[in-house]
Structure 1
Amino acid sequence: MAGIGHKLETKGVIMALLSLVLISTGCEDKIDPSAVNPSEGETVEVTLNLGIANEEDGVGTTASPTSKANGNSNKAAFEVLPVANVQTKAENGKPDQLYNLEIIQYNSTGSKLQSQMLSSAVTTGTTITVSLTAASNCKLLLIAHGNSNYFSGFSGKATLDAVRSATDILVEAKTSSINGIATDATGSALADMPYYLLLEDVNIIYEEGRYKIQSTEGSDVRLLLKRLAAKVQLDWHFDQAMTNAGYTLKEVKLCQVPAHYRLIPETETTDKWGEVYPTSVAEFTDAYRLTGTELAKGTKTVWIPANARGISSYATSPIYRNKENANASATYAEFVVDNKNKEERLYYRAYLGGNETNDFNLLENKNYEWTVNINHANYTSDPRIQLLDQTPVKSTNEQPTSNCFMMKPGTNICFNPYEHEAGTDGWNTELTTAGAILTNKTIDKVEVLWQTKDAGTSGDLVMGYIVDNTNHQNLVNLTDGSDIKKARIHIKVPVTNGGNAVVAAKNSSGIIVWSWHLWISDYVPVGLSGDITTVSRNAAIQAAQKATQSGMVQVYGGISWTDPDGAFYKKVIMDRNLGATRAGIQNNLLDGVRTFGLLYQGGRKDPFFCSADGTAKEMKTIYDGDGKEVSIDKIRNSDVTAYDNTIQNPLTFYLVQSGSEEYTAFSKKPDAWGSNSGKTIYDPCPKGWRVPSNKGGGADAKQCMMAGFGSTNLSWVPENNSPASNNTLRFYDGTALKTFNTSSVASSTFVGSGFVYTEGSGETMALDQISNKSAFFPGVSLREHNTGAYRDKEGSVAIKNNTVYIWASSMDNNSLYIYQFQSSKLYFKHTISRAFGFSVRCVQE
């Protein structure tokens, strides 16, 4: 019998999730393809022969010689060995029935033709009759949901692409249920495991008196569904020599595992690793973190969602299978080792994947087993082993104190926590008075409150690991905390791709008295300096732009910038939102998310994280000093008695669910951001920068930062107005610049889409002529004032990444003015509740 099948291979990554598993049902040497019956398009009865594919070995029958050891005869410090031939070959290694089988048919372009759910279980190896549409070059998706029917909703999607991009089909609870199936289960014990098959290109034809499914190559086929989960077994051995030398295995972790199962996850094309899935903006988590008696078992086996992270041409030997050469979202095991005095901690990291050293793919329906040997502590010879410096950080790089410190990766700073560059005589009046520390405001210790990773939901922690929950001194260290003049907080950050963190200072009772945001990025903006006159202004702008590192400072084209009486005439503005590590138009998902920055409630100094993927889903994106996930709290504003509550609880989002609640915590510090006066100690921007004003809500064009946006009339200040026909504003949807209107904006789904304004740089509206001098405003999902959740609709219209909300510092009746781009309208004159979570873009102070 001749078997027919295909695999999609892109730059070395085998896309097994799209594999067509077909076995011919006849023994003829050749089955000639038949012409499609003239009844094409009609609903017909089709016989299907169903089975379950044998699970596969992720390594194969023998391990590749390149993946075995470190290539020398001496015992290496760290050995990571793939184990071959571990798959279960017996028939009882899979269930004998397919439960809750759903079959969905799509046409050649992916639009749904038919869908049906079978009410009875299907015994494997038998045939069934289903209703399909007679068609050529169509697609079939078969899903055995499992006996417990963990998930549903696929048939409700109109297209295959909608299934692929859906975020509402498989949720965390269902993922936990699948992971809870025993990994040694066989036969009926596997009844709850989902199985699936996607046939990308088949015909429904009439032949030999019946309708049947046929591959486009011509053979009648048996359909073999695949197990949705990958199985990963990790075995470890801690050498006695390590124990004798005083080392202890403290923790074993399986990190950066996709948080959810998806039948057809969205793929992402990368230059370095080829086609990968799921995308880099999916949610990743730790599958487990083992401590105590669990470590003595020396083995752990789990089900995980597939994580295909591609082929790395740089991983040419086992020691180069490290974080420098792996995709940021690749799955790895990490072994934490302490010496007996806890003066030295080592992190042994092993990236998992296929047979070859350069293969970082963990694929569905495959079993993987890896053996790890930790033999000695010679970390200098192996880049997979990292030493944690536990020495308290001490810096001499003193910086003026503000609520936000811009830090380049791999640098350190120190500052006086009782001072503030915007405070009275340079002091923070929430902590001091008349040259003395206020009662209960003496700082006793400092901690890493939260931090991001440097690749969204994956990558490296931007500050790194603390020593333990009682000792953060290797990352943030307090000296002379009770001395108002000598007190210093010392901070260092490792070399990463950047991100954000918040450091909190606590008194002896453990209450947070103040906190500071660390904006970790290569971006170093420079403001205008010198005596700015009409003659010198252009030269000063050019000098500031030239001196700015890894980005741009900008001026806009409106009258508030160009007129000597304009509020922003002697200023420049940053090219990105506060907290963003990228600026401008991006062409990939991860960098699109990096343009979002952080969200702030009006009048508060502490940030909240943005959507991780542009949707309304609340994903894990912040972590404590030990790398464990952190969540925000949400409390009604009416339950808050003082503005101090907002200072003591930087991770609490205060909700306004009625009009009167606006006048509780938020009203305790009216005009907290200084409105039309100077910068305050509650302003979230770095030294030399502040939240921009919007005097009078833009009634005076010379006081509105965005006067002239959307029009060649640079004095035009819109409010609920469409841009003029000859406008200077366009919407970027991921592929092109579009006219500013409802249809182009509302339909965008690209993460990183937004609005481009060129008047300040004088460029034309052609995508290939847009430079970093052009102002780009990414569409960012706001946090709702009454729920704290991300907004996903404008009225009844679903939205994604297509609305801009930027805070101004100016107040009116306890509300703040904002700058807003929404659908086809611009709003620059109205106020809104301070309880919303919006973006901030800092302007020169």
Structure 2
Amino acid sequence: MKNKLSTLLLAGVATLTMFSCVDNDNLNENNGDNDALVSFGVNDVQTRAIAVSGRTLTRGAINPYLSSEDLAPQKLDVKGADAEKLCIIETTVEGVNPVQADAQTRANVIKNITENFSASGHRGTTEANITTKPEWFYNEPTLSNGKLVTPRKWSWAIPHARFYAVFPQVKNEYTKIKLSPETYEGSPYIEFEDETDVTNQKDLMTACSGHVHYSVQGTAPRTDLDFRHALTAIKFAVGQNLSINKTISKVEIRNALSKGKYTLSDKFDGTGAKWENLSDAKTFKLEGLAVSTNQNPNAVLTGNDGDNYTFYMIPQELTGKNITVYVEFTDGSKIESTLKGSWLAGTTKTYKLSEKNSTWEYTLETTNPANVAYNQDKSNDYLVTSYRNAPDGTKQPVKWKAVGFEEYDRATDSWTNLGTNKPTWLTAMSKENGEGGANAESGRATITKADLKDRLTEYNKVLQTATEKGAAGNYYNLSNTNGGDAIQNTANSYLISAPGYYRIPLVYGNAVKGGTTNESSYKTAHTGTDILSNFKDHLGNDITTPYINVQNASNPATQASIVWMDQQALVDGLSVTNNGDKSFVNFHVSAANIKNGNAVIAVKSADGTIMWSWHLWFDHSDALSTIESTNHDGNKFKFTKNILGYTLYKWQATSYESARAARMKIEQELGNGEKKTAYITITQTPYAERIYSTTFYQFGRKDAFPGVDVDKLYGGTIVKNAGDDMSIKNSIQNPEKFYTGDVSWANNYNQYNLWSMETTVVKDPTNALVKTIYDPCPVGFHMPPYNAFTGVTTTGENVVFQPGKINALGNWDQGYHFYTKDASSPSTVYFPAIGSRRYNDGELFGVGGKGIYWNGIADGIRTGRCFTIEENDVRPLMEITRAAGGCVRPVAAQ
């Protein structure tokens, strides 16, 4: 967050002079007199001027040296995409991000600041011989209430002084704001270097007390520090009715000077302060944007987290200096405009992308409040700035009013017009009309707090009361759409959403597709050391048929058992029907015991050797409904609503699962032709308190492992550390064994195509992934391709400690609600930090703090590609050892 004194002083400020008496013995300086302590009245010149002037800020109220030409608007040409249609309109207002003070604020103008600043003191026996060096004190930390951290007393023998102050506090560890040396003679100066990342920039304010005389011994003289802005604020906005339909992803100011020397004024009124010795042209960036040019008319550009970023730039000449504004869109197109005129200290410039034929005398801008938590009933301030430029350059207020409300519909990804009605959860908008002015008017939304209710009981009740499928002796075939006899589509995992009598055909994974043999799921023409050309069965033999009891006709599967369950008695009555290519494993799911959970069952030969196993997932029928998500390259993938094997043990939540949003449309009451309109969007985040788990998978295996400890399993168990003994044969015969280590994986389970049949290289970028019989996903789904997750960051790359580049709504919530496209649409998909199983011992690890989501692509003979998530570490292109247990979020087959 930016360090801004202006936000701390906020309202107009009256003089605050602090008085205090302490024993001389408590001070480092003992003058032998009962002298008063040095303290300051801390004021913000800008806020005080706004409070006094109200809506119409008279030119020069803050800076008397500004001319009408300094505040005159400009139209700037652009180069690049759609240059023939577009221009940039530059407007300038006095003050740095000025906000109007309302009547209550103007009546109560004193506000405590909350951060320290630096102060230096010069003194002398007369005004004329006040020292030119800070011999009294130098760069002393000063509290927000005007008291020095290390108290200093006035001296009756040396009663004349001058004080200088700098905000933010100058600290040795931050090298980009340096105060002139203690030995320097003259008005102090700041060596300033501007941050190129806008999110890290600092506002700079300074003050000088002028001459102060300690004239009454024991009574501190009034000592005011009137802070003034030393930098220029730069904002960017999109205009109204733009004909282009694009999304802005990045804004840059290029070739602007980043370093300079700022000499403080030695006068109370701030005159004489100056910038000089400017150097080091650099590019200043605001990244991580997702601002639609046609969904956000007249809106100031903001980051994904709702922060309203402002560039703080060193004042400098622009004309002829080749300083440009650069705007980039998500489709790769870009525009650039050369700036003219100058940046002046203590002013705010807005560069608005506009149509060339648009009228630009009228300005209407809105700033949305931050997202509101589910348990809050008030938003932060939203802002509206509405004015027009008179011929003489002054800003004249333009009244505005609300003309309607809309609510976001997640199902259609569109806004529903509600007319003049608000949605039921949006109780009120404190400001639905305003008088306008160059200084923003503010309001707040009142929102209904969302109650939490027990959702798990009703969630499981849906399963328990669903219509039973099949009957004793007439089992429902899970590979058939209607449960009939024909074997249509098979997989290693089946979703069950109702009680009943079920059967699964004894088929290797997805080896039957559309009712016919799917040979491409277990054979490929590719060969090589790291290619499995013909997939193997439980004995290590080449698979030649989809049917387990045809492949093993001489020693077929004749019995079945439960490997493990994470809820009690989910499955009972297992048996095997042995009939060649019409063999099935049969089981019963009772209405009394069905609930959200998982089970793994296996079929065995007569001697008890496991020949194959399946994952049974008990969840709602819509668990496999899809959420379309766009990756960084624009490719669309349909992820399952729930992560494979998702199981709830506790669930309290709001009635809405995704953020709910409404927006108020406002309109200026005057206009040149068409009146300007803009939107204020209010977003309330969801909340859920869940205890849950998912199944975990080792890279290339079909076998599901529980997301809970072994002492919470029923009807079986797992061996969470089965040693470094991985092979295809062992993995099939022992679905309960979590093989650890590294060597056996590299030697025996090293193939590139275990989950993607036609992959022959590591980091295969294909989106056309061919599902294999070792794929753990249900029918109609397969493992995510290599780059399926790159949309989780704004760059498509791994992001560490760069929150502005995480493409998510809201803050960390034991995971992130990632945008399915970008911040221009509130649609999200939640990826929890569900944890994993460690590769070296099979123990659960990182639950609630880290998540691992497998891709279907190998990264090496020891590693697989994956997406990992932590609060400050989001990596869509990561690799980890194959022996680790990660989650699977299936992708719908194209």
TM-score range, shorter chain: 0.3 to 0.5
TM-score w.r.t. the length of structure 2 is 0.36
TM-score w.r.t. the length of structure 1 is 0.38
Larger radius of gyration: 2
